Structure 1
Amino acid sequence: MPSTKSISGPLTQPTLPQLRALIAVVDAGGFGEAAAELNMSQSSLSEAVGKLEDLAGCSLLRRSARGTLPTPAGLRAVAHARAAVQAAGDVLLAAQDDSKLSGVLRVSSIRSAATHLLPPVLLAFRQQHPGVVVKLLDVERAGLGEEQVRSGQTDMALLEVEGGLAADLRLTPLLQDDYLFVAPESRGTLPVTVQELADAPLLLSSRSDRCFQRTEAYLGRFGISADRATEIDQDSVTLSMVRHGLGITLMPRLALSPVPAGLVTLPLPEPLTRSLVLAALPHRAGLPLIRAFTSALVDSLGSSSLAGQPV
């Protein structure tokens, strides 16, 4: 049990290694995994967390059948620990010269953008800034990209937004991506009707995906329920099933580039679009590393045929 004795003076301030230790255990879900991630012994890691709990005067972590989990106090503490560790690193990032960037840039992205938009950007960025390592994280669950940026797990996120869902983040508009009706090529190119959407077997993405939620809302405008849809996690599997005549799907244009053989894509009876943006914390958007990657992505989209209509 951590001591409840208060300590006066400068020793009450936690150290960055102690904060990193707490973050690592929370993210890994256990001391062994976190120690391996930090390349330190488990006993040293436990000691760092223990000293932090002594300073806090309460337990920050608890062991359970699901691993090591943060207590309510630990959840509050780890959010500030992330911000403190990030701020310390930003001191050096802010001092970098634009022409001599270095470090690690963590970018999370929805899968279609990671597949079709980011590869040429990453290539150009690596050539211009060889001292920077870009780590790419795939996110599909709605809201995960925003959470990762807010928590400091990623520096930037390429994501979909609607309304004011990410109003607390600095958003750089990238493009408007139209949804298309996708069917077997044998269907032909006659205009799509609402009745066809109501009658045809539906093949849609997972319910936790924002794409499903947007499609569900769109179909609901016509009184069509998405509950009867077959949910499939992988776009490639969906498109293969459509090609074999097992149903139709609605999918963003970007996810269909290039359109696989054996399929036809057509406009929907009424337009459905998604807005893609690059999100960062407002106070970090001006860091040279983040600013440089943002510029590289915007410049690439300006010359890309995949981007659809710029915002």
Structure 2
Amino acid sequence: MTYTLEQLRGLVAVAEELHFGRAAARLRMTQPPLSRQIQKLEAAVGAQLLERDTRRVTLTPAGHAFLAEARRILSIAEAAPALAQRVSSGFRGLVRMAFTSASTFGILGRLLNELEARLPEVHLELYEMVTREQIDALTGEDIDLGLARPPFDPELFESRLLHREALLLAVHEDHPLAGLDRAVVPADLATEPLIFHSQRKARYFYDLVVSMVPLAQERVVHTVSQVMTMLWLVSAGRGVAFVPASARLVGVPGVAFLPIATPIAEPVELHLLWPRRSHNPALARVLDALEHVML
């Protein structure tokens, strides 16, 4: 079955005018070529689409059924160039974005709302990954954009600071430290069991805590990679943990959050991370939309 868009347009015109002469005039052609178009279309379809005599033109049952499909095909064909242009310009498309679990604590949702408002035709496909996994996925072109923790290789990636927050101490709500009326200092933790970040899977938080709060590593009782796991261990009375301030939004029962005396007031950083070379035009639009956003 082979037919052309011109033949479909001819059928639609005749079906709407129910007159070959008026349909030909509407299409800015003469009647004989239009008649030949319809004949070729019927031959390609293998069914009679029109009943015509010297006085009138009507659609056959097959013609009624085919007319609906002809209109649908023409609609798709007419919309295709505009769709291609929007995809090429980045206003429509797909961006595959990875995020760390801690970035879901309020930050990810606000970012998605911002992008939906600014770029409603760009779909974001989400993947939860630690920073190390994000770097591998960006390098392998499995994702386009990451919400990750520094540092990054500047020769391979570009990044932009998206969010900065304080580092807090999570303790059980009945813990004696919960009653402090000042910031926690290292001396307060000399005998406390510590729930610590994995040096391999959560290297950013591990290095950050070690640099900000001098601690005795022999006090570490659990090593985990996810903030949520830390909070549940704290809730169970297994120890105290260092978490980003946004962890307060999770609402794990039985956990209190205390300020820590750190050299930098808000040392925890979250960055947008993307490869220096990308073939996805929608990524550029997403980055433009977030250029002045700080969450």
Q: Is 1:202 paired with 2:185?
A: no
Distance 1:123 1:296 in 2: 12
Q: Tell me by how many angstroms 1:94 deviates.
A: 9.8
Distance 2:92 2:191 in 1: 55
Distance 2:158 2:221 in 1: 35
Q: Give the direction of change, closer, same or farther, for the CA distance of 1:246–1:128 in structure 2 (3 Å limit).
A: same
Partner of residue 189, structure 1? 180
Q: Tell me by how many angstroms 1:223 deviates.
A: 5.2
- Specify the code of the residue in structure 2 equivalent to 1:147: D
Q: Give the direction of change, closer, same or farther, for the CA distance of 1:288–1:206 in structure 2 (3 Å limit).
A: same
TM normalised by structure 1 equals 0.56
- Kindly provide the CA deviation profile for residues 197-236 of structure 1, in whole angstroms up to 9, marking residues without a partner as x: 23111112334212452256337x6352167331234433
Distance 1:128 1:193 in 2: 44
Unmatched 5+ stretches in structure 2? 1-83
Q: What is the percentage of aligned positions where both structures have the same residue?
A: 18
Secondary structure of residue in 2 paired with 1:203: strand
Q: Give the direction of change, closer, same or farther, for the CA distance of 1:93–1:210 in structure 2 (3 Å limit).
A: farther
- Which of 231, 235, 242 aligns to 2:234? It is 242
Unmatched 5+ stretches in structure 1? 1-91, 302-306
- Which of 278, 281, 288 aligns to 2:275? It is 281
Partner of residue 49, structure 1? none
Distance 1:211 1:93 in 2: 41
Q: How does 1:94-243 map to 2 (within 5 A)?
A: 96-97=88-89, 101-140=91-130, 142-162=131-151, 165-186=153-174, 187-191=178-182, 192-207=184-199, 208-215=201-208, 217-218=210-211, 222=214, 224-225=216-217, 228-243=220-235
Secondary structure of residue in 2 paired with 1:161: coil
Contact kept? 2:157, 2:275, Cα under 8 Å: yes
Q: How does 1:48-63 map to 2 (within 5 A)?
A: none
TM normalised by structure 2 equals 0.58
Distance 2:169 2:202 in 1: 18
Distance 1:94 1:151 in 2: 26
Q: Give the direction of change, closer, same or farther, for the CA distance of 1:151–1:268 in structure 2 (3 Å limit).
A: same
Q: Tell me by how many angstroms 1:157 deviates.
A: 0.9
Q: Give the direction of change, closer, same or farther, for the CA distance of 1:122–1:102 in structure 2 (3 Å limit).
A: same
Q: Tell me by how many angstroms 1:128 deviates.
A: 4.4
Contact kept? 2:95, 2:282, Cα under 8 Å: yes
Q: Give the direction of change, closer, same or farther, for the CA distance of 1:138–1:189 in structure 2 (3 Å limit).
A: same
Contact kept? 1:174, 1:276, Cα under 8 Å: yes
Q: Give the direction of change, closer, same or farther, for the CA distance of 1:138–1:258 in structure 2 (3 Å limit).
A: closer
Partner of residue 255, structure 2? 263
Contact kept? 2:86, 2:92, Cα under 8 Å: no
Partner of residue 81, structure 1? none
Distance 1:139 1:96 in 2: 29
Contact kept? 1:121, 1:296, Cα under 8 Å: no
Contact kept? 2:105, 2:246, Cα under 8 Å: no
Contact kept? 1:177, 1:275, Cα under 8 Å: yes
Contact kept? 2:87, 2:282, Cα under 8 Å: no
Q: Tell me by how many angstroms 1:156 deviates.
A: 0.9
Contact kept? 2:119, 2:286, Cα under 8 Å: no
- Specify the code of the residue in structure 1 equivalent to 2:276: P
Q: Tell me by how many angstroms 1:258 deviates.
A: 5.1
